[in-house]
A and B are shown apart, each in its own frame.
Chain A
């Protein structure tokens, strides 16, 4: 029984719910059974947020087992590290090179980067994706760019993601997000 998993981690307001919905639909369109979990409530008030999309022939649990996650999309570096126990040496991690401050705490960025260095996975792509999104004209496209890049490693065809974006996003955001996705997918050539 093969189950694959994409773990999304970040901070409340990062758009993780929407990004994970897009992946869930892409997996369903590609013919997989899908389960997804997300946590509402307190986490909306700026706390740590996570969502999991698990896909395979038959998926039961909506949450992951430690050491089992193949793919991680992290919108922030501290949160990536917080979930490190779910990764293994074969995982692919796409992380936005950014830190969201925590009230009353001083975070030493070089220290965080040093910790990330020690996480030996198959592939860890850390990049200021916000620059890519800004280049496309809208900072809110950052997750979709990251998704495009990650999709190359997931082996799920672009057409399923295009349909998924069509399904999940409001009308006026569809085209621009489909474009951002293609941009991200193209970006993956740099990391091939």
Chain B
């Protein structure tokens, strides 16, 4: 593992008027590491994810990102052009609802190929063959390449969204409850696929989930949030086996009962 973090968050805060979305959040993400942010709904985990991914403006604090050229700027220093370029090349964002991350009336092939075209790929055959490779990697038959996502099942849509994000070989992926909207039977397959791709590609991932099972399966490290604050963070196995904060103990106990 690399000796320098790819992402570094310090004293991050987001306020909505008097209401605190999240506050005093500090943590690092290392290359190739999967960090899970867990907590109940309303704990501030999605707010945190949206702030880090610049989809939402923070109120204060620092968010630094290691660029491909090793610069380590605060994201607030980047211009809109540079930020948008990051978002469509170096980053990925997997939404809970695939319809938020896909163009539902555009073919699967174009959904996967869009990022390639956005960064200047101008060879139709090449774009198409890479799209079809990626479809197969996420276990969608290449023969479906010209079909619209509206004709896909929920699990297929989610896998298509993952392929669409990974085609440019990003280094950091944000995931917001990626299996939250799926049937339990479908969840396992998507999780398996994610685990395999993340380790094959050496991706850094920040995943938000309320499901400790998902966190345990995918992440090496875990951040537990409550009322907008981090109450505990550490190696996933350690936190799960020996939770120190009473809230974490409660969370862990509740999944064990399930």
| Pair from one complex | no
Interface residues of B (CB under 8 A from A): none
